[in-house]
């Protein structure tokens, strides 16, 4: 009889989102002006998704239209550059009006974890202010399961500082064929709040 859990090769499609768009835009901008189509062509998402993020960047003052190119029967294509002094390494998080969004609970927790290195969920809630205790606890256990934190009694300790961006907790939907011990088709991951 085979064990219930087995290691399988998993081909997982992780959504790139705004952080992915931003890394593409930074790369394109180094070479010169760029268009929405150039950004979307480097992803597997619809042009409209890239267009919405670039609109937020323009409204927030991060991107500027430098010219408009005629494209035949289609609407003219706007050509962009990033504004001077507006090229942060991390993707700007903006609302639809281009205004900065508040820091996420995950980002607050991750920053507090890196600063204190040893903590309880209560310590994190005290350091972050408005993060619910259940969110802090759930995030601690998710990172412990991934080997980023170690739990010693009631205290968690950061053992792998992965960098500035908070680790994301994902849920994947996939189809598994136990006959061949393989995942069939592509799997899609979505981010969840712990």
Rounded to whole angstroms, how far apart are CA atoms 98 and 57?
Answer: 6
Asked if residue 113 and residue 190 are part of one domain, the reply reads: yes
Q: What is the Cα 93 distance to its own chain's centre? A: 10
Torsion of CA 38, 42, 44, 46, to 10 degrees: -10
Asked if residue 122 and residue 60 are part of one domain, the reply reads: no
Residue 55 lies in a domain: yes
Residue 4 lies in a domain: no
Instruction: Give the model's pLDDT for residue 45.
Output: 75
Residue 98 lies in a domain: no
Asked if residue 114 and residue 66 are part of one domain, the reply reads: no
Tell me the average confidence (pLDDT) per consecutive run of 10 residues in the chain, 194 residues long: 54 67 94 93 84 96 92 80 91 95 94 96 95 96 96 97 89 81 76 69
As a whole number, the mean pLDDT across the chain is 87
Instruction: Give the model's pLDDT for residue 11.
Output: 60
Q: How many CB atoms lie within 10 A of CB 14?
A: 14
CATH code at position 124: 1.10.10.10
Rounded to whole angstroms, how far apart are CA atoms 164 and 107?
Answer: 9
Residue 77 lies in a domain: yes
Instruction: Give the model's pLDDT for residue 193.
Output: 67
Residue 92 lies in a domain: no
Element (H, E) at 71: strand 63-71
Backbone angles phi and psi of 91, in degrees to 5: -60, 130
Asked if residue 194 and residue 114 are part of one domain, the reply reads: yes
Instruction: Give the model's pLDDT for residue 1.
Output: 46
pLDDT in tens, 76-126: 789 999 999 888 988 999 999 999 999 999 999 999 999 999 999 999 999
Decide: helix, strand or coil at residue 80. strand
Residue 41 lies in a domain: yes
Asked if residue 107 and residue 194 are part of one domain, the reply reads: yes
Domain count, the chain: 2
Contacts of 142 (CB under 8 A, 6+ apart): 169, 194
Asked if residue 116 and residue 42 are part of one domain, the reply reads: no
What are the start-end ranges of the H helices in the chain?
17-31, 36-41, 47-59, 105-116, 121-128, 133-145
Rounded to whole angstroms, how far apart are CA atoms 103 and 53?
Answer: 18
Residue 158 lies in a domain: yes
Asked if residue 71 and residue 128 are part of one domain, the reply reads: no
Asked if residue 180 and residue 136 are part of one domain, the reply reads: yes
Asked if residue 114 and residue 56 are part of one domain, the reply reads: no
Asked if residue 115 and residue 28 are part of one domain, the reply reads: no
Residue 131 lies in a domain: yes
- Among candidates 98, 80, 94, 87, which has minimal Cα distance to 37? 80
Instruction: Give the model's pLDDT for residue 151.
Output: 97
Structure tokens at 71: 């494209």
Determine the structural domain holding residue 126 and report its residue range.
103-194
Asked if residue 170 and residue 129 are part of one domain, the reply reads: yes
Asked if residue 107 and residue 169 are part of one domain, the reply reads: yes
């Amino acid at each position: 009889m085979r064990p219930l859990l087995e290691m399988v090769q998993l081909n997982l499609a992780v959504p790139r989102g705004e952080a992915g768009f931003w890394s593409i835009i930074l790369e394109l901008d180094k070479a010169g002006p760029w268009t929405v189509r150039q950004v979307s062509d480097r992803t597997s998402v619809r042009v409209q998704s890239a267009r919405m993020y670039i609109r937020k960047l323009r409204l927030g003052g991060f991107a500027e239209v430098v010219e408009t190119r005629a494209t035949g029967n289609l609407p003219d294509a706007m050509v962009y550059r990033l504004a001077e002094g507006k090229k942060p390494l991390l993707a700007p998080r903006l609302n639809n009006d281009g205004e900065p969004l508040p820091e996420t609970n995950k980002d607050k927790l991750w920053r507090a974890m890196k600063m204190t290195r040893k903590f309880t969920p209560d310590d994190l809630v005290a350091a972050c202010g408005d993060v619910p205790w259940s969110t802090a606890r759930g995030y601690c256990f998710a990172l412990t399961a991934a080997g980023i934190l170690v739990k010693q009694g009631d205290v968690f300790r950061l053992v792998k500082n992965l960098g500035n961006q908070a680790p994301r907790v994902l849920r994947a939907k996939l189809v598994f064929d136990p006959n061949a011990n393989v995942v069939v088709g592509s799997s899609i991951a979505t981010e969840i709040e712990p």
